[in-house]
Chains A and B, each alone.
Chain A
Amino acid sequence: MNDKNSIKVVDRNAIDGIISLLKSEGFITVGPTLRDKTIIYDEIENTSELPIGWTDEQEAGHYRIKRRNDEALFGYNVGPHSWKKYLFPPKLELFEANKNGKSFEIKTILTDTTKYAFIGVRSCELHAIQIQDKVFNNWQYKDPNYVSLRDRTFIIAVNCTQAGKTCFCASMDTGPRAKKGFDLSITEVINPNEHYFVVESGSDKGEDILSKVETNFATEEQIFKADAEIDSASRNMGRALITDGIKDLLMNNMEHPQWNDVAARCLTCANCTMVCPTCFCNNVEDVNDISGNHTERWRKWDSCFSLDFSKVAGGNFRTSPKARYRQWMTHKLASWIDQFGTSGCVGCGRCITWCPVGIDITKEVKAIQDNPVN
């Protein structure tokens, strides 16, 4: 973190200035915007495309946008999209091949070198990006597309000053304050007679951009107010999840009756995995043209809820909804820790909000915590 002296304060014009500077440097600027009564992520030109003056109301299986009584730029929480759709695209062509007599030739796709600037990344989402780094850019094998995009990405984090009813980042230790992994971070402060943004840089690149727009040093009072807003978000989390000993708890309760209970409600629709910012499962498919001489391999998002996911020639390892929900939740909260040294859940609450039947991961865990069989 920066020492207090380097913390700046800016107005909305400076945010626009930052966006246009990034655009002039060739960045595609993406951020939250309103579409079909939902706050999603898409390309934006300037702050006027942000969901200004809007907020969202979230509960298990429920999402609605509402007017705020102010003109806040970032006065809402996370929606159904996450930044993974840019770094780990839902559909990616891996290669094409053309027949050539008894042989064939492979043409690889030139790696995507788009420079994205993500505007408005929440702390939980920063953690989610760092978690996906561990999947795609962590060991002997790397996904070149992911690494290429990730290396070029400029991140503007936004500290949450309000928490949604399905948020539980505080208990996952992933928010609401962005601590690292950003180029710039912003805290929006809005009161009846003032509206300003406290900005900190988290990288040289961030420092450089910040030096090119009009800033003032933040006063102690301005910083204090910003911190107070973040603290209040932290105290007002809609939900909580107790993580102490969770890995052993779940692993020792693989036959707990709660799995049958949740399985009776779960539609195995896979919504939770699609909206989850850390879920990375994918499938590979071949697409052929009619001549049979040309073929393409595509990678697509997949889900451990899909029935074919665990199919092998001799059978299918996970057919029951119980086994599939259990795989998802134990992966997120338990086996992920063994695999990648961190939880696979950042407490963003998306899976709770976007579950059509309102299944709540925090409640499912609590049911086992309250009544463990082992």
Chain B
Amino acid sequence: MTFIEGNNPLLPAETNTIITDPMIPNLFTIKKIFWETDDTFTIEIESHDKSSFNFKPGQFNMLYVFGMGESAISICSDPAKNKTILHTIHRVGNVTSKLSQLKKGDTIGVRGPFGSNWDVTKFYGKDVVIVVGGIGLAPLRPAIYSIFKERKKFNRIIILYGARTALDLLYRVELEHWSKTKNVEVLTTIDRGDSSWRGNIGVVTNLFNYIKLDAMNTYSMVCGPEIMMKFSIEELVKLGVEEKNIYLSLERNMKCAIGFCGHCQYTSKFICKDGPVFNYSQVKDIFNLYEV
């Protein structure tokens, strides 16, 4: 077998077009790694050649750990900043555990950005309800940053956020900051409380009881475990939000992120290239089927 350094441009016989292999990662350095909660951490990364990295809110990367494998992880930093990017990662298995053990200065492989995005420009002049469960806040944070960058173009912003326990709430400083902004409401709830928690307890859909929606003027973005998204969307629709104004981000097993491996198929959709962000009306029929 013959090897060459780096990503090899190929010259096919007749076409003479150059194809770069989309399965080869680019090398990035860990600039920072820190824990957000007991089992969730954030890495800040920069490409080895210091080139900028542009992405849209809701897109994801495939992060490669030497010898271990790849995981699909959303980009959670401000899309306006492209020198370094952030990923918040829940440690759940092989790759994510190995990622959590990396140190500043270590190298990982990155392929991306991939997938569809939250297009907040569609929400200009409207109320935006963001419904989040757990790690789902990570893929939504770039959208929230984009909204805050052009705050005046949007009307009310409501963030409903559910986590397992108080200690599992992500980005607490920012939540605090957002909640103090005019015309922004941030409501949190946790599944299990203890004596120190004075906030809401229960599933995120309970939080709908505490807000009044101007349903006809509301757009919504939903991200979290599938069951949580199901109930949240049901609730939104019940409150009168139009299905075509609801967006959600789906998760499936992913091995390639480019439509080659078939793993992420969701009937007629590939979550990696048609998603992960979908308009609810696009996937509604499939969303309520079992085991597709």
- A positions within 8 Å CB-CB of B: 93-97, 99, 102-111, 113, 115, 135-136, 139-144, 147-148, 151-152, 251, 254-255, 280-286, 288, 292, 295, 297, 299, 302, 304, 309-314, 317-320, 322-323, 326-327, 330-331, 334-335, 338-339
Q: Do the beta carbons of B66 and A94 come within 8 Å of each other?
A: no
Contact of A111 with B8 at beta-carbon distance under 8 Å, contacts A96-B3, A144-B21 already known? yes
Q: Do the beta carbons of A108 and B4 come within 8 Å of each other?
A: yes
> Which one of A94, A107, A311, A334 has the highest number of Cβ atoms from chain B below 10 Å of its Cβ?
A107
Q: Do the beta carbons of B255 and A107 come within 8 Å of each other?
A: no
What is the count of residue pairs linking A and B with beta-carbon distances less than 8 angstroms? 167
Q: Do the beta carbons of A292 and B261 come within 8 Å of each other?
A: no
Contact of A335 with B1 at beta-carbon distance under 8 Å, contacts A102-B106, A144-B10, A299-B23 already known? no
Interface size for B (C-beta < 8 A) is 59
A147 to B10 Cα, complex, angstroms? 10
Contact of A327 with B265 at beta-carbon distance under 8 Å, contacts A107-B4, A110-B3 already known? yes
Q: Nearest Cβ in chain A — how far from B291, in angstroms?
A: 4
Contact of A151 with B10 at beta-carbon distance under 8 Å, contacts A283-B255, A284-B69 already known? no
Q: Do the beta carbons of B10 and A111 come within 8 Å of each other?
A: yes
* Additional pairs, 19, CB under 8 Å, beyond known A107-B4, A251-B285: A93-B1, A108-B7, A109-B2, A111-B10, A135-B259, A135-B260, A140-B258, A142-B22, A281-B261, A282-B261, A282-B262, A284-B23, A286-B69, A295-B67, A297-B23, A302-B262, A317-B291, A323-B292, A334-B268
Q: Do the beta carbons of A295 and B253 come within 8 Å of each other?
A: no
Give the residues in chain B near A331, CB-CB below 8 Å. 265
Give the residues in chain B near A142, CB-CB below 8 Å. 19, 22
Give the residues in chain A near B1, CB-CB below 8 Å. 93, 109-110
Give the residues in chain B near A135, CB-CB below 8 Å. 259-260
A95 to B5 Cα, complex, angstroms? 10
Q: Do the beta carbons of B5 and A105 come within 8 Å of each other?
A: yes
Q: Nearest Cβ in chain B — how far from A104, in angstroms?
A: 5
Interface of A is mostly: mixed
Q: Which of A143, A326, A330, A335 contacts B260 (CB 8 A)?
A: A143
Q: Which of A111, A281, A323, A334 contacts B262 (CB 8 A)?
A: A281
Q: Which of A94, A151, A285 contacts B23 (CB 8 A)?
A: A94
1/0 contact string of B86-118 vs chain A (CB within 8 Å):
000010110010000001011101000000000
Q: Does B51 contact A (CB under 8 A)?
A: no
Q: Does B175 contact A (CB under 8 A)?
A: no
Q: Which of A106, A255, A330 contacts B25 (CB 8 A)?
A: A106
**Can you list 7 A-B pairs, Cβ within 8 angstroms, ordered by A?**
A94-B23, A110-B4, A144-B19, A284-B255, A310-B263, A312-B252, A318-B292
> Which one of B3, B8, B291 has the highest number of Cβ atoms from chain A below 10 Å of its Cβ?
B291
Contact of A106 with B6 at beta-carbon distance under 8 Å, contacts A147-B12, A299-B23, A312-B253 already known? yes
Give the residues in chain B near A109, CB-CB below 8 Å. 1-3
1/0 contact string of B1-40 vs chain A (CB within 8 Å):
1111111101011110001111111010100000000000
Q: Does B270 contact A (CB under 8 A)?
A: yes
Closest A residue, CB atoms, query B109: A106
Give the residues in chain B near A286, CB-CB below 8 Å. 67-69
A283 to B285 Cα, complex, angstroms? 28
Q: Does B243 contact A (CB under 8 A)?
A: no
Q: Which of B66, B69, B262, B285 contacts A304 (CB 8 A)?
A: B262
Q: Do the beta carbons of A282 and B268 come within 8 Å of each other?
A: no
Q: Do the beta carbons of A148 and B13 come within 8 Å of each other?
A: yes
